Amino acid sequence: MATRTQTYEIDVADVEYLRHGETHFLARVFKPIGKGPFPIMIELHGGAWVRGTRMNGEAANKAMAKMGVIVVALDFRVPPEGPYPASLADIHFGIRWCKTQAVAWNGRPDRIGAMGTSSGAHQAMLIGMRPDDPRYAALSLPSDAVAVDATLGCVLLVSPVIDPLGRYRYAKGLREDCVPPPGIAERVVDMHDQYWQTEEAMAEAAPAHILDSGERTALPPVLALRRDYEEAHPRPDFDEFVGKYGKAGGQIEVTIFEGEGERILSDPSTPIAKQALEQMSAFIHQHIG
């Protein structure tokens, strides 16, 4: 088992994991060089479900791999080609694909989690709670692949958009519990519309609403990180989810960094990023290491 204090040299490579028609979707795999077995984390980029690529988290993913974690950053369908739930189907497939590759990477298929930032964190949590949802599991692995599921051993949330409908109404200035900053509606409302298309879909895919509905879900251990104030991520939605996840029986650890801003991991050399990465690494090694 990898130890948290050891630093590894790493190998980085892009691999095609999925194809839709003539479009190739790549995974960027960050592998520690060593015997392992290393835990594996699927990393999902942010971008309001519409923008971004597997390159978004490059610096933090390299830092995490040096701590003894295989990180697999996925590209997936986004609008206009892929409104909800297309990206969840790609991610679900990607998790299962990673399990079939784990041994070759010096990992183990039963030691896999997911992490993400902003909308990527939301999607990681959705898959974590709904590993058997038939909409998300719609894509089949090759017929000769080993049978695996998309169950996750842990989920890490960094500055999550944890309630799509809550953020949508917040951006539109329709809430009394929090006031949006100027300009946020122009930044995010159209992207919500492109990806979700309806408010009903936003509500159906909000983890706190899912817990309220009585839907039977998985409850993997969760580490949630954010700043005290993030203008694009309403604090009441975060607090509501944390409370309801714990009440439902899920283990959830929370760190709130003082101040404002949303790019906790963009520069791994900053004190906050270093603390966040250390916490993430320790949590990963505790639960799937």
For the stretch 150-195, pLDDT in tens is 999 999 999 999 999 999 999 999 999 999 999 999 999 999 999 9
Distance from C-alpha of 165 to C-alpha of 172, rounded to nearest angstrom: 11
Whether 89 maps to a domain, the answer reads yes
Whether 196 maps to a domain, the answer reads no
Residue 261 has pLDDT above 90, yes or no: no
Q: How confident is the model at residue 262 (pLDDT cuts 50, 70, 90)?
A: confident
Backbone angles phi, psi at 112, to 5 degrees: -130, 135
Whether 214 maps to a domain, the answer reads no
CATH of the domain at 77: 3.40.50.1820
Interacting residues of 5 by C-beta distance below 8 A, sequence separation 6+: none
Whether 181 maps to a domain, the answer reads no
pLDDT at 5: 65
Q: Is the whole model's pTM more than 0.85, yes or no? A: yes
Q: Which domain holds residue 50?
A: 10-162+219-288
Distance from C-alpha of 113 to C-alpha of 64, rounded to nearest angstrom: 13
Count the domains in the chain.
1
The pairing of strands 107-117 and 155-158 is parallel
Whether 189 maps to a domain, the answer reads no
Residue 61 has pLDDT above 50, yes or no: yes
Distance from C-alpha of 98 to C-alpha of 92, rounded to nearest angstrom: 10
Q: How confident is the model at residue 4 (pLDDT cuts 50, 70, 90)?
A: low
For the stretch 106-116, pLDDT in tens is 999 999 999 99
Whether 35 maps to a domain, the answer reads yes
For the stretch 115-136, pLDDT in tens is 999 999 999 999 999 999 999 9
Share of the chain above pLDDT 70, in %: 98
Q: Is residue 81 helix, strand or coil?
A: coil
- Mean predicted confidence (pLDDT) in 252-268: 90
Whether 132 maps to a domain, the answer reads yes
Residue 1 has pLDDT above 60, yes or no: no
State the average pLDDT for the chain: 96
Whether 205 maps to a domain, the answer reads no
